[in-house]
Structure 1
Amino acid sequence: MVKLAFGSVGDSFSVTSIKAYVAEFIATLLFVFAGVGSAIAFGQLTNGGALDPAGLVAIAVAHALALFVGVSVAANTSGGHLNPAVTFGLAVGGHITVLTGLFYWVAQLLGASVACLLLRFVTHGKAIPTHGVSGGTTELEGVVFEIVITFALVYTVYATAADPKKGSLGTIAPIAIGFIVGANILAAGPFSGGSMNPARSFGPAVAAADFAGNWVYWVGPLIGGGLAGLVYGDVFIGGSYQQVADQDYA
């Protein structure tokens, strides 16, 4: 059952909430800078050559490490979402209010966009690689890919970080979250691009002024994240978690 709570303007503009938005902005910027930067670096080292298996592994590892760090540094302030699909999945389960979640989205999208604009500047205007489905993969197939891998990501977030019964497992949540992202990039990267994150796809699109097919990386991840919130929240958390009250989110 969907546990959405709209929230109040006062709580969404509290000092604690504003600190959370700043934390999301910084952590998302650092994550996207490293992730997109790894793809640019591969192109630099191979003179713009096509992505090969070694390059895919390197980019997957870079994303996994950067996300591990990003989640870790933001966890105590904002929860370390760094991803609109994660925020949406947690909102569906009642872990964050809708209004505060929208401000999380703004912070995440701004962080990703600034990261890619900075990369464009420091690399002397090198092309910013954008997400897109590969040849032979349709956009519909790309959406399904993104649904599945984002479901895996948000399900992992719930199991290791959001479940009130997680116990000591919560201490390894950033590692688990980073690992599932790295593994999903290895599986889906050659087909859908392996985004799982609308902000990760939006930032490069802004810097490259190319939004072709960008809808795939909104529809797929948001559906996957929402489904994970529904499934884990209803089946495994159930009545053991009290929905966040409109005035109680901090």
Structure 2
Amino acid sequence: MDHQGDQDQVPSAPSTPVTPGTPGAPLFGGFRPDKGGNASRKSLLKSFKCFSVEDWGAMEDGTVLPKVSCALSPPPVSLARRVGAEFIGTLLLIFAGTATAIVNQKTGGSETLVGLAASNGLAVMIVILSTGHISGAHLNPAITIAFAALRHFPWKFVPVYIGAQVVASLCASFLLKWIFHPIMSGGVTVPSGSHGQAFALEFLITFFLMFVVTGVATDTRAVGELAGIAVGATVMLNILVAGETSGGSMNPVRTLGPAVAANNYEAIWVYLTAPILGALCGAGAYSAVKLPVENGDNHDKPALTRSIRR
């Protein structure tokens, strides 16, 4: 019987450029099982790539063994899966952050600023760790635009990602409006001081956030596996600093969805412009101070590697 058909490889969907850690690259590797034993083994071998060989050193018995560092390339992820994961991740983030603010208003401030900061930070961390390997877990149009500007994300996918983020924000906000009606105003981020003060704070805290995100997501020397913790902690810190004054949005869709649901558009221009400008500057700042690539081979290595020594 002819088994030639079993070995044919199904063309994979075009994959966007990935970066280590998140957003933009898998946090954890994995394999997609293929039907047919021969095809599965062949695709597995093709994904197994070695990128360095060096001497291990003398062993106790005097022999010298080679050390081979190899990587298992992650399987391609379709755009539909990426957008679906981005939608669900943004939905969870907006739902958790906005719901905490609404409950805080309903209970007379029982959540406190620390609780609000912790809720948003934990939501970001959870989403990055659970969906970062699928979509990159941008969750924020400002981050998506900044990554595209630095050529870490294709511009052609930017409208699709931002569309998913906006729709997820609206869905989460109207769901909360239905659950907690008529108490919804607590979830809207509005400045308690002047608009200029709110703009400055939103710009700065988004600058700091994007600086951290760019470091853990684009630099192969950063600990990408801890990206969720680093980014979540940064979000929590930023809200502790700016939450009382500007609401600590850092995200246009964090403000847009609740504003539409509550019909409250006070100073919305601040939250639609300052985070985007801050993210662009933060990403550019990290790129400016980033350590130079040694031997020019840092970007030739797979975005996520599992070191196998034998």
Q: TM-score, normalised by structure 2?
A: 0.67
Supply the AA of the counterpart residue of 1:74: T
1:84 aligns with 2:84: no
State the identity %: 34
2:176–2:184: 8 Å Cα contact kept in structure 1?
A: no
Structure 2 CA distance for aligned equivalents of residues 17 and 38 of structure 1: 32
Cα–Cα, structure 1 residues 237 and 197, in superposed 2: closer, same or farther, change >3 Å? farther
RMSD: 2.1
Name 2:120's counterpart in structure 1. 63
Match of 1:203 among 254, 257, 261: 257
1:218 aligns with 2:272: yes
Structure 2 CA distance for aligned equivalents of residues 237 and 91 of structure 1: 21
Match of 1:131 among 182, 189, 195: 189
Name 2:106's counterpart in structure 1. 44
Structure 1 CA distance for aligned equivalents of residues 209 and 202 of structure 2: 10
Q: Which has the larger radius of gyration?
A: 2
Alpha-carbon deviation of 1:237? 5.9
2:140–2:251: 8 Å Cα contact kept in structure 1?
A: yes
Supply the AA of the counterpart residue of 1:95: H
Supply the AA of the counterpart residue of 1:60: A
Write the deviation string for residues 146-204 of structure 1: whole angstroms up to 9, x where unpaired. Answer: 111001111111111221322xx111100110111011001001111111001111110
Name 2:208's counterpart in structure 1. 152
1:32 aligns with 2:94: yes
Structure 1 residue runs of 4+, over 4 Å off? 237-242
2:191–2:246: 8 Å Cα contact kept in structure 1?
A: yes
Alpha-carbon deviation of 1:93? 1.4
Structure 1 CA distance for aligned equivalents of residues 250 and 278 of structure 2: 9
1:71–1:82: 8 Å Cα contact kept in structure 2?
A: no
Structure 2 CA distance for aligned equivalents of residues 42 and 178 of structure 1: 20
1:92–1:229: 8 Å Cα contact kept in structure 2?
A: no
Name 2:42's counterpart in structure 1. none
Write the deviation string for residues 203-231 of structure 1: whole angstroms up to 9, x where unpaired. Answer: 10121122221110111100110011212
- 5+ long unaligned stretches in structure 2: 1-13, 17-75, 300-310
Name 1:163's counterpart in structure 2. 219
Match of 1:179 among 225, 233, 237: 233
Structure 2 CA distance for aligned equivalents of residues 178 and 80 of structure 1: 12
2:209–2:234: 8 Å Cα contact kept in structure 1?
A: yes
1:111 aligns with 2:179: no
Structure 1 CA distance for aligned equivalents of residues 292 and 145 of structure 2: 18
2:97–2:123: 8 Å Cα contact kept in structure 1?
A: yes
Supply the AA of the counterpart residue of 1:157: V
2:142–2:275: 8 Å Cα contact kept in structure 1?
A: yes
1:193 aligns with 2:247: yes
Report the structure, 1 or 2, having the larger helix content. 1
Structure 1 CA distance for aligned equivalents of residues 125 and 77 of structure 2: 26
1:116–1:207: 8 Å Cα contact kept in structure 2?
A: yes
2:290 aligned counterpart, secondary structure? helix
Deviates more, 1:214-223 or 1:226-235: 226-235
Write the deviation string for residues 23-49 of structure 1: whole angstroms up to 9, x where unpaired. Answer: 111000001101100011112222xxx
